[in-house]
Amino acid sequence: MEFSPFPRDMFAELERLQRQIQQSVELSPSIRGFARGFPALNVASTPESVEIYGFAPGLDPSKIELQLERGVLSIFGERPSEPVDGGEGASVHLSERFSGRFHRVISLSDDLDPNEVSATYRHGVLHVSIKRHKSALPRRININ
Amino acid sequence: MSEQSAVAGKDTGAEDYGLLPPVDVIEDKSGITLYADLPGVSRENLELHVEGDNLFIDGRIALEMPKEMEATHVEVGRSRYRRVFTLSREFDTEKLTADLRNGVLRLRIPKAEHAKPKRIEVRAE
């Protein structure tokens, strides 16, 4: 690429494209996740709870809406677009970041307790932890 | 500012690729501003460096995770972000400023004094 006198050359673009395609083929979903939407979600489960991680950078946590209804979690809100510095005469070279309204729905298990939900927002990641109903936890049954 | 993946050659393997964070790049008369989405990266886990004409963004995702956790649905399958940009000479990387808030990196690189646009007078004879 060093021979190109242009700041945004076609070869760099092609390489970037190639890398993106490679990433999507490699079964390692990209954070851009446009096919799946914003925010990208990771879900994990423990014996006592279900943990949801939403990769939602640049949000005001008070404006993120969360709803849990019959084991279905909805996350919605809006991500404002960044104000363009410099005003007139400014040019946008790349614009890849998500902006606008988002709404994601994820179906979780049905043994969750809607009264035992905690949500934190840290470093742009929304972490929702939902406890399972006590009655749903595995119990040892004594044989008399 | 252009992007290049020539550094991929330095990688030990595909594992090191990392995720490609989405960016916005805006240029104005006095410099360039870059926004990068790096959710899950704290200040301590973000490494920025300029080497020659290249700007490296390298961030590690650290999440609070309970024990005995088993992933059931994964959309972010790597724990690193990585992206490299080639800067052109007119940018003054000595004066680069960076700010990381809520997983969004904002980088500002001013143009060197000599590179700022100047109006050229055209005289008619």
Q: What CATH number does residue B86 fall under? A: 2.60.40.790
Q: Is residue A142 part of a domain?
A: no
> b/e for A65-101, b at 16 or more Cβ within 10 A?
eeebeeeebebebebeebeeebeeeeeebbeebbeee
Q: Let me know: does B48 contact B75? Beta carbons within 8 Å.
A: no
Establish if A90 belongs to a structural domain: no
Q: Does A89 contact B28 at a Cβ distance shorter than 8 Å?
A: yes
Tens of pLDDT along chain A (144 residues)? 344 445 556 666 777 777 766 665 554 444 444 446 899 999 999 989 999 999 999 999 999 999 998 889 999 999 988 766 556 678 888 888 988 999 999 999 888 998 999 999 999 999 999 999 887 677 788 888
B124: closest CA of chain A, how far (Å): 27
Asked if the structure places residue A41 within a domain, the reply is: yes
Answer whether A123 sits within 8 Å of B41, measured CB to CB: yes
Chain A closest CA to B121's CA: distance in Å? 19
All residues of chain B having their beta carbon less than 8 Å from the beta carbon of residue A28 are 77-78
| Partner B contacted by A104 (CB < 8 A) | no
In this predicted structure, what is the pLDDT of residue A83? 67
Instruction: Please check whether residues A39 and A61 belong to one and the same domain.
Output: yes
The pLDDT tens digits for B49-101 are: 999 889 999 999 999 888 888 999 888 888 999 999 998 888 998 999 999 99
Structure tokens that stand for A70 in this block: 């019959």
